[in-house]
Homo-oligomer: A and B are copies of this chain.
């Protein structure tokens, strides 16, 4: 894989100087067009051998392009805000929005390779990490991102020579990391594992480009041309090709027997039992959230359900039990302008709680496979791939200590109608009911299909759905609280 990047490519100064003016002009044009269209972001990942000119090349790119629409991000030491959340959070928070270019130094590839070379992880874990990177990049591309991945390469001999030169130059010594590159076996390992990762993550939508780092002219021109040409094509391709989804109908559409139709919605709780159980479960939640073991976890709860199923009331029974400083309720409505300029999961990542805290999502990322599917706000290809993307997202939360509890609050059509009418009649509830609600009701069956598919495809051991029989609000509220408590206890028991 690296052979042709050890051949000693050189571009003489004259050729280089002759090529530059037109190249810079074209790069500026492309960038301006990128900003004007604001249709997709560009992500440039910089990796490779120490001393192979990564920093210098990025610096040159910044000089050649308009620094106002590029952002360079480094990910070395994690801040404490980052350490308190799943590792991917730090990448999400710095993703470039549509129309801009983000250059990621020290990205996920550097993290996994350094960990493997230093022996902190084994190869199986390295593969897991590179698979996760692949899924992340595919998701970004499906959301429209244009990704360039550069591996700057040097032979061992070339590297040692370059490192000596850099160290001797006070103006450039910042380019040398403290990592023990000088040691021969570090180089060998880095190349071996680098090859493995590159092989497993080079894909049509985001291929790796291996660039020989010895000659500055060659290196700069190569990188600039790859970016320019990739960008020009992407700017011209108005509708970027979507992968063809599997076209057979989803299984749950065939009959009307599904998890929802099997619920016993008649379950209820009388007032006295409710009072006792509510108080018990709230006290239990309060205790669990202030338990020392909670310092290793965060809690995320998702509330979805039919309109008027009682999400707000259930959420209030949860928050009642808690110190208001440790939770946040996020009401998910139409995305803001900044959110629309990002992949759809971005607006949920920004609210992922730090350890010890709770975020309650009132509606959630499942809007993609519910309202967006039913109302046709996104294409079939988009919502079909969302099941997998959501699973990846949830795995990256739960792997890092987030306890995730997801509720579907189910009521039947008659109960819904009755509640809609009540809301229209009672003064302070009137704001809860709109023409939209009545219209959504017309699509009841389509929502049933969407919910059944959603549960089938995204309920699993790490993040199970809990279907809550919500015709009786008291029953529903206690079940919600109890489910959260059990999930926390289970998580505490595991470690």
List A residues at the B interface (Cβ < 8 Å).
25-26, 28-29, 32, 36, 55, 58-59, 62-63, 66-74, 79-81, 103, 105, 171, 174, 283, 286-287, 290, 312, 315-316, 319-320, 322-325, 328-331, 336-338, 360, 362, 427-428, 431
Question: What are 6 A-B pairs with beta-carbon distances under 8 A?
Answer: A26-B428, A63-B320, A67-B329, A70-B324, A70-B329, A171-B286
How far does the alpha carbon of A431 sit from the alpha carbon of B66 in the complex, in Å? 12
How far does the alpha carbon of A328 sit from the alpha carbon of B338 in the complex, in Å? 19
CB contact between A323 and one of B59, B73, B287 (< 8 Å): that residue: B59
For A290, what are the chain B residues with a Cβ–Cβ distance below 8 Å?
Answer: 174
Q: How far is the CB of A38 from chain B (nearest CB, A)?
A: 12
Provided the pairs A59-B323, A68-B331, A337-B338 are in contact, do residues A28 and B79 lie with their beta carbons within 8 angstroms? no
A59 and B103 within 8 A (CB): no
Q: How far is the CB of A209 from chain B (nearest CB, A)?
A: 19
How far does the alpha carbon of A315 sit from the alpha carbon of B63 in the complex, in Å? 10
Number of copies: 2
Residue ID in chain B nearest A315 by CB atoms: B67
How far does the alpha carbon of A68 sit from the alpha carbon of B316 in the complex, in Å? 9
B312 and A68 within 8 A (CB): yes
A316 and B63 within 8 A (CB): yes
For A331, what are the chain B residues with a Cβ–Cβ distance below 8 Å?
Answer: 68-69
For A360, what are the chain B residues with a Cβ–Cβ distance below 8 Å?
Answer: 67
CB contact between A59 and one of B26, B73, B324 (< 8 Å): that residue: B324
Provided the pairs A62-B319, A63-B319, A74-B325 are in contact, do residues A362 and B312 lie with their beta carbons within 8 angstroms? no
Provided the pairs A79-B80, A174-B290, A329-B68 are in contact, do residues A62 and B324 lie with their beta carbons within 8 angstroms? yes
Residue ID in chain B nearest A362 by CB atoms: B68
Given contacts A29-B427, A58-B324, 16 further A-B contacts (CB under 8 A): A26-B428, A29-B428, A55-B324, A62-B319, A62-B324, A63-B319, A63-B320, A67-B315, A67-B360, A68-B312, A68-B331, A68-B362, A80-B80, A171-B287, A174-B290, A338-B338
For A55, what are the chain B residues with a Cβ–Cβ distance below 8 Å?
Answer: 323-325
How far does the alpha carbon of A334 sit from the alpha carbon of B315 in the complex, in Å? 37
How far does the alpha carbon of A62 sit from the alpha carbon of B62 in the complex, in Å? 48
How far does the alpha carbon of A423 sit from the alpha carbon of B337 in the complex, in Å? 32
Q: How far is the CB of A372 from chain B (nearest CB, A)?
A: 20
How far does the alpha carbon of A427 sit from the alpha carbon of B21 in the complex, in Å? 13
B323 and A283 within 8 A (CB): no
How far does the alpha carbon of A74 sit from the alpha carbon of B26 in the complex, in Å? 50
Q: How far is the CB of A123 from chain B (nearest CB, A)?
A: 30
A25 and B427 within 8 A (CB): yes
For A171, what are the chain B residues with a Cβ–Cβ distance below 8 Å?
Answer: 283, 286-287
A103 and B68 within 8 A (CB): no
How far does the alpha carbon of A290 sit from the alpha carbon of B322 in the complex, in Å? 47
B431 and A32 within 8 A (CB): yes
How far does the alpha carbon of A413 sit from the alpha carbon of B337 in the complex, in Å? 37
Q: How far is the CB of A104 from chain B (nearest CB, A)?
A: 11
How far does the alpha carbon of A275 sit from the alpha carbon of B62 in the complex, in Å? 20
Q: How far is the CB of A171 from chain B (nearest CB, A)?
A: 6
For A105, what are the chain B residues with a Cβ–Cβ distance below 8 Å?
Answer: 325
B67 and A319 within 8 A (CB): yes
For A70, what are the chain B residues with a Cβ–Cβ distance below 8 Å?
Answer: 324, 329
Q: How far is the CB of A21 from chain B (nearest CB, A)?
A: 10
Residue ID in chain B nearest A74 by CB atoms: B325
Give the top 7 A-B pairs by smallest Cβ distance, nearest first: A337-B337, A68-B331, A25-B428, A72-B324, A32-B431, A67-B329, A74-B325
Residue ID in chain B nearest A283 by CB atoms: B171
